[in-house]
Structure 1
Amino acid sequence: MSWRHWRKLKLFAATACGVCLAKTFSPVRNVSSEKVVIYNENNDYVDQVDGVDSPNQCLPDENNLILRQVQVYFRHGARTPLQITPGIEQAGYFPEFVLRDAPHTLFWYSLTYMDNTPVESSSFDYQYRRTKLKGGGHAGMLTSYGQDQMYLLGRQLRYDYINTGFLCPEYNEEQIFVRSTNMKRTIDSARCVLAGLYTAEELNKTCSVKIVTSPSIDEVLFPNNINCPVVKDVINATMVDFDNIPGIKEDRMKMESALGLDSTKDGHKLHFVHMRDDLTARMAHGWMVPKVVLPFMDLVEENATKLLYFAMCGKTEEERKTVLPLSVGPALTMSVKMMEDMMNGKSQKMLCLYSTHDSLMICLLEAFGLYNNTWPEYAADFRLELYEDRNQEFWVKVRYCGQDKSLPPCSESMFSFDQFSKMMKPYVKEKKEYLRICNSNILKNLSKGGSR
Structure 2
Amino acid sequence: MRDKREDLELVRTVVLARHGARSTLCYLEELGPSTWNDPKLFKAPDFVKQVKVNWTDVGGGDPPKGQFSGGILPCGGQRGELTHRGYIGNSKIGEYLKTQIDIKEEDIYVRSTNTTRTVESARAIIAGIFNKPMEITIETPANNNDDFLTLHNSAKIAMAKLEWTWSTPCLYEPFQEKMSKIIRTVGLKKRAEGRQSQFQPIGVYDDYMCRKEHDLIINKKEKLDSVAEDLEELAVLTKHIINGIRFFLKVILTKCTYVLII
The TM tier, using the shorter chain, reads 0.7 to 0.9
Rounded to whole Å, the distance in 2 between the matches of 1:275 and 1:235 is 20
Q: What is the CA distance between 1:247 and its match in structure 2?
A: 3.4
The answer on whether the counterparts of 1:235 and 1:311 sit within 8 Å (CA) in structure 2 is yes
For residues 235 and 159 of structure 1, do their structure 2 counterparts lie closer, same or farther at Cα, with a shift above 3 Å needed?
farther
The answer on whether the counterparts of 2:27 and 2:34 sit within 8 Å (CA) in structure 1 is no
The answer on whether the counterparts of 2:27 and 2:207 sit within 8 Å (CA) in structure 1 is yes
**Is 2:205 the partner of 1:276?**
yes
Aligned to 1:63, the other structure's residue is in SS state coil
Corresponding residue for 2:3?
Answer: 23
Rounded to whole Å, the distance in 2 between the matches of 1:265 and 1:217 is 31
TM-score normalised by L of structure 2 = 0.81
Corresponding residue for 2:215?
Answer: 286
In structure 2, list runs of 5 or more residues that go unmatched: 249-257
Corresponding residue for 1:308?
Answer: 239
Corresponding residue for 1:157?
Answer: 97
**Is 2:52 the partner of 1:108?**
yes
Corresponding residue for 1:190?
Answer: 122
Rounded to whole Å, the distance in 2 between the matches of 1:192 and 1:304 is 27
**Is 2:32 the partner of 1:89?**
yes
Higher relative contact order (CA 8 A, sep 6+): 1
In structure 1, list runs of 5 or more residues that go unmatched: 1-20, 25-61, 318-371, 374-445, 447-452
Corresponding residue for 1:138?
Answer: 78
Structure ranking higher in helix proportion: 2
Instruction: Give the one of 138, 143, 151 matched to 1:223.
Output: 151
Corresponding letter in the other structure for 1:218? D
Corresponding letter in the other structure for 2:116? K
Structure ranking higher in strand proportion: 1
Rounded to whole Å, the distance in 2 between the matches of 1:298 and 1:22 is 36
Q: Deviations over 1:324-355 (max 9, x none)?
A: xxxxxxxxxxxxxxxxxxxxxxxxxxxxxxxx
TM-score normalised by L of structure 1 = 0.49
For residues 234 and 103 of structure 1, do their structure 2 counterparts lie closer, same or farther at Cα, with a shift above 3 Å needed?
farther
Q: CA RMSD in A?
A: 2.8
The answer on whether the counterparts of 2:20 and 2:121 sit within 8 Å (CA) in structure 1 is yes
Rounded to whole Å, the distance in 2 between the matches of 1:193 and 1:183 is 16
Instruction: Give the one of 179, 183, 187 matched to 1:260.
Output: 187
Q: What is the CA distance between 1:233 and its match in structure 2?
A: 2.0
The answer on whether the counterparts of 1:223 and 1:231 sit within 8 Å (CA) in structure 2 is no
Rounded to whole Å, the distance in 1 between the matches of 2:158 and 2:65 is 24
The answer on whether the counterparts of 1:82 and 1:277 sit within 8 Å (CA) in structure 2 is yes
Equivalences for 1:410-421 in 2 at 5 Å? none
The answer on whether the counterparts of 2:25 and 2:207 sit within 8 Å (CA) in structure 1 is yes
The answer on whether the counterparts of 1:96 and 1:144 sit within 8 Å (CA) in structure 2 is yes
Rounded to whole Å, the distance in 2 between the matches of 1:156 and 1:302 is 30
Rounded to whole Å, the distance in 1 between the matches of 2:88 and 2:74 is 22
Percent of pairs identical after alignment?
21
Aligned to 2:31, the other structure's residue is in SS state coil
Rounded to whole Å, the distance in 2 between the matches of 1:228 and 1:80 is 28
